[in-house]
A and B are shown apart, each in its own frame.
Chain A
């Protein structure tokens, strides 16, 4: 099993450009998540999904959109990138449940917006 994979690993964007980050998991998990990690801060949840075709906002959703057309994939889109979106982005997945289920993380995507 590959676990959780993320594409691309690194990306540099100019302000105003758009891009899509792809997350894929092969563990048949229902729940998937997108986080961002900034220096000196814990991971903050951007959006999450509790199943195919459903998405919901997390703690810091502004400037991002997501889609979950297939159970194994969770896409994060930036329509018009801003320097404040320079960060490391992590995708995670887990079994369903309100608490207590381990989240499995991908290796991250380092995004720089100039």
Chain B
């Protein structure tokens, strides 16, 4: 079946690195995504990684993919208070039934404190 799991809460000190973890079940997923949701807003795509990659870096963000363990992580360097949000991991299975299907995790609430 399709399932995405992530821890629900992470608290970090401002300036430290944050690491948000996610596991997924569908090994056919070609793309894996991280979306960010700020309070009272919709989801915004933060970054994504194609399944034939094992790492992607984009400024302060680093995505690591371990296909063997079906484990995805998002590292935010030098975490700022503006990074406080809910982060959703999502997978996009190949056998999607004719549309651009996304399976979301429950979201990790990142709290950044001084």
A residues at B contact (CB < 8 Å) = 4, 31, 40-45, 48, 50, 56, 90, 92, 94, 96-108
Least CB distance, B108 to chain A, in whole angstroms: 11
B88–A108 touching, CB < 8 Å: no
- Residues of chain B from 41 to 61 with CB closer than 8 A to chain A in the complex: 41-45, 48, 50
* Interface size of B as a range: 20 to 34
Q: Which residue of A lies closest to B86 (CB)?
A: A37
**Chain A residues whose C-beta falls within 8 Å of the C-beta of B42 in the assembled complex:** 4, 90, 92, 105-108
Within the complex, which residue of B4, B8, B41, B50 is in contact with A40, where a contact is CB–CB below 8 Å?
A: B8
**Chain B residues whose C-beta falls within 8 Å of the C-beta of A99 in the assembled complex:** 29-31, 92-94, 96, 100-101
B43–A105 touching, CB < 8 Å: yes
Kindly list 16 other residue pairs between chains A and B, CB separation below 8 angstroms, not including A43-B102, A90-B42, A99-B30. Answer: A40-B8, A41-B106, A42-B4, A42-B88, A42-B105, A42-B107, A48-B99, A56-B99, A97-B100, A99-B31, A99-B94, A99-B96, A100-B100, A104-B45, A105-B42, A108-B41
Interface of A is mostly: loop
B103 is an interface residue with CB less than 8 A from chain A:
yes
Least CB distance, A77 to chain B, in whole angstroms: 20
CA distance A17 to B100 in the complex (A): 32
**Chain A residues whose C-beta falls within 8 Å of the C-beta of B82 in the assembled complex:** none
CA distance A107 to B50 in the complex (A): 27
A-B contact pairs, 16 of them (CB 8 A): A40-B8, A42-B88, A42-B104, A45-B102, A50-B98, A50-B99, A90-B43, A94-B100, A99-B30, A99-B100, A100-B30, A100-B50, A105-B43, A105-B44, A107-B40, A108-B41
